Amino acid sequence: MGIGNVTERRLAPPQVGISVVILALAPDRGEAGRGRLWLPLVRRVRQPYLGMWALPGGGLSADRTLESSAYKALESTTSLHPRYLEQLYTFGGPDRSRGGLPMVSIVYWALVGQAETRDLAEADNVKWFPEDELPELAFDHRRIIDYALWRLRNKIEYPDVAVRLVGETFTLGQLHDVYEAITGESIDLANFRRRILASGQLEDTGAKQRIGRHRPAAVYRYVSRPADPDDGERPDLWNPAQWARSDRSDGTTRTAGERAGNQDARAHADALSALAR
Amino acid sequence: MGIGNVTERRLAPPQVGISVVILALAPDRGEAGRGRLWLPLVRRVRQPYLGMWALPGGGLSADRTLESSAYKALESTTSLHPRYLEQLYTFGGPDRSRGGLPMVSIVYWALVGQAETRDLAEADNVKWFPEDELPELAFDHRRIIDYALWRLRNKIEYPDVAVRLVGETFTLGQLHDVYEAITGESIDLANFRRRILASGQLEDTGAKQRIGRHRPAAVYRYVSRPADPDDGERPDLWNPAQWARSDRSDGTTRTAGERAGNQDARAHADALSALAR
DNA sequence: CCAAAAGTGTTACCACTACACCCATGA
DNA sequence: TCATGGGTGTAGTGGTAACACTTTTGG
């Protein structure tokens, strides 16, 4: 691709790997503690950083997409099958290079539901850690995790993200707990319920679930496609036709928040300005 | 790029490059045509795709950050100095690999103001193209550009992005035109004015500028830091301390838009689901 | 005075917050 | 019956869209 446009270049090829930050909620919901976020780490069996904990990862292969490379790396190191996997950022730079070789990590982040959590066979070299009690980490993986958590907290506004952290089905109370766990704020349950239902992304399964000894709650399921015929396809990174100018066919109006900007956008912009003169 | 034979393919490191999508407004504002977006391309001087147009790009070096590699690649191919540079996405996958080698492109996108536009010495092998009249492009650069444009249109809600496309100083009318050019929608000027001023990101320079033969307009400047002492530092990708949970110290409440999610988040999520089962 | 862009005021609407309230259930 | 979480109603608030309106300039 862009390589070869520049005549002067004759550099040693960089080392490239894929790493994944997997996030999940603590398995239990209940009295004990509000759910914390946990993530699995693997112990390094090679130099450098031998014996230290690191993000699961792997290499690229020519016949896979980056996503499926990430997926496979995850599977082969932890047996987990995330339902949400998104490219987070690509890290590089002088502080990462070893022996004059640029070291590049393409980092994905993944969310797994509580049910899938069991898939992870904890072993000597794979272990869950709570987000706020991480061991010392290899490379700059600590920084990467912090960034992933920050992204999660700034992205939690989108219903689909939170939904991946609970199971396939869930009550609004459970989902509410997830939101509170992630944002760290307390959220009015009544308003939360209305908002989330109004988004049209949830579907009542008809089932009821009794959590404690109280009134049973309705069980919902996430539906990505609300029964809303007139809003166009959402863009798909692999389907360029969908990136065409859309004109908001869903008829919604833009609100202040959309315009004011989320931290996400700012972080990158500011990061640049701090650096590129 | 027929590097590597079949046997070494498995172990051969992937080829990694950096490419940049640079966006700018057409130099003229006036009656003629509403500003369109233009971008510079460079003509390839090597196989493959020899003679075709491609995104400016270059390689990585071990002693630079990815951003500064992008910045430098841009400078050396086009002499442009963008004031906005942000990592867009990293592309890879089987459709990109050549000769069994994974080919990865870390793509940045950049915005340059109309003033800086002159820095680009148009030559045989560097040329501006309007966004909607692109030539046939090398590799999958067309797709990348489409993605960058889509990102731009979905990020234009943030005042800082639009501001990079006009000059250092500008009238509200000019800024308004930029918004309309990018979104393709017509925006009520009166409301636009109020919103943008209310954001606190603009500062009246005191100067007046007469565009046509009409009433002169106030000239504004973008200020990233509103005189607003109690809202914390914005996160900086290179300063992990700032990723800490922030609790919205600026006292604003979240609005529907922030919660409902922008297309940005959806695109990635949907892309994944379309792929990773 | 006219045309055209700059800039202001006014109203109606709608999403959201806060909080009071009712419902269903097991003990 | 009580306690507890599930679930609903409703008044008030604040941001914004729509659009009418005033101001300033050159011709």
Residue ranges of chain B that CATH labels 1.10.10.10? 160-246
Residue nearest to nucleotide D5 (CA to C1'): A214
Which residues of chain A are within 8 Å of residue B238 when distances are taken between CB atoms?
271, 274-275
The predicted model gives A9-22 an average pLDDT of 77
Q: Which fold has domain B160-246?
A: Arc Repressor Mutant, subunit A (1.10.10)
- The predicted pLDDT at position A164 comes to 87
CA distance A136 to chain B (A): 15
How many Cβ pairs within 8 Å bridge chains A and B?
317
Residue type, B89: Y
Q: Which of A16, A82, A257 sits opposite B13 (nearest CB)?
A: A16
The predicted model gives A134-153 an average pLDDT of 91
Please check whether strand C approaches the CB of A64 to within 7 Å: no
Would you say A74 and A154 are in contact if contact means Cβ atoms under 8 Å apart?
A: no
- The predicted pLDDT at position B40 comes to 94
Please check whether strand C approaches the CB of B180 to within 7 Å: no
B199:A60 CB<8 A:
no
Convert the pLDDT of each residue in A58-75 to its tens digit: 998 888 899 999 999 999
Strands (DSSP E) contained in A113-155 are 126-130
Please determine, for residue A260, whether its predicted confidence score (pLDDT) is greater than 60. Answer: no
- The predicted pLDDT at position A121 comes to 65
Helix (H) or strand (E) holding A263, with range, is helix A263-273
Q: How far apart are CA A90 and CA A108, in angstroms?
A: 9
The predicted model gives A44-53 an average pLDDT of 90
Peptide bond into A48 cis (omega under 30): yes
Which residues of chain B are within 8 Å of residue A63 when distances are taken between CB atoms?
94, 97
| Other residues' Cβ atoms within 10 Å of the Cβ of residue A22 | 27
What's the pLDDT band for A83 if we cut at 50, 70, 90? confident
Would you say B119 and B76 are in contact if contact means Cβ atoms under 8 Å apart?
A: no
- The predicted pLDDT at position B27 comes to 58
Would you say A81 and A115 are in contact if contact means Cβ atoms under 8 Å apart?
A: no
Residue nearest to nucleotide C26 (CA to C1'): A213
Residue ranges of chain B that CATH labels 3.90.79.10? 15-155
Nucleotides of D under 7 A from a protein CB: 3-10, 15-20, 23-27
- The predicted pLDDT at position B96 comes to 81
Residue ranges of chain A that CATH labels 1.10.10.10? 161-230
B147:A240 CB<8 A:
yes
Query: Which residue in chain A has the smallest CA separation from B271?
Result: A236
Q: Which CATH architecture has domain A15-155?
A: Alpha-Beta Complex (3.90)
> How many Å from the CA of A189 to C1' of D7?
10
- The predicted pLDDT at position A234 comes to 35
**Residue range A161-230 in CATH 3.30.465.10:** no
**Helices assigned H by DSSP within chain B:** 6-9, 66-78, 141-155, 159-165, 172-183, 189-198, 256-260, 263-273
A3:B17 CB<8 A:
yes
Please determine, for residue A97, whether its predicted confidence score (pLDDT) is greater than 70. Answer: yes
- The predicted pLDDT at position B263 comes to 33
Which residues of chain A are within 8 Å of residue B276 when distances are taken between CB atoms?
67-68, 71, 82, 85
Convert the pLDDT of each residue in B165-224 to its tens digit: 888 899 999 999 999 988 888 999 999 999 999 988 899 999 999 887 889 999 999 987
CA distance B123 to chain A (A): 15
Query: For chain B (length 277 residues), average pLDDT per consecutive 10?
Result: 39 79 72 66 90 94 90 91 91 80 90 78 82 92 91 76 87 92 90 92 92 90 58 38 35 30 36 28
Of A190-204, A249-263, B41-55, the poorest mean pLDDT is in A249-263
- The predicted pLDDT at position A173 comes to 93
Vertex B254 angle, CA B253 and B258, to 5°: 160
Please determine, for residue A222, whether its predicted confidence score (pLDDT) is greater than 50. Answer: yes
- The predicted pLDDT at position B132 comes to 86
- The predicted pLDDT at position A35 comes to 66
Please check whether strand C approaches the CB of A45 to within 7 Å: no
Count the residues in chain B.
Answer: 277
Residue nearest to nucleotide C18 (CA to C1'): A188
Please check whether strand C approaches the CB of B256 to within 7 Å: yes
Residues with Cβ within 8 Å of residue B92, at least 6 apart in sequence: A60, A65, A66, A69, A106, B14, B102, B103, B104, B105
- The predicted pLDDT at position B243 comes to 38
Please determine, for residue A138, whether its predicted confidence score (pLDDT) is greater than 80. Answer: yes
> How many Å from the CA of B170 to C1' of D6?
55
pLDDT greater at residue A155 or residue A131 = A131
- The predicted pLDDT at position B95 comes to 81
- The predicted pLDDT at position A110 comes to 93
Q: Which of A93-97, A239-243, B268-272 has the highest mean pLDDT?
A: A93-97
Handedness of CA B217, B218, B223, B227 (dihedral sign): negative
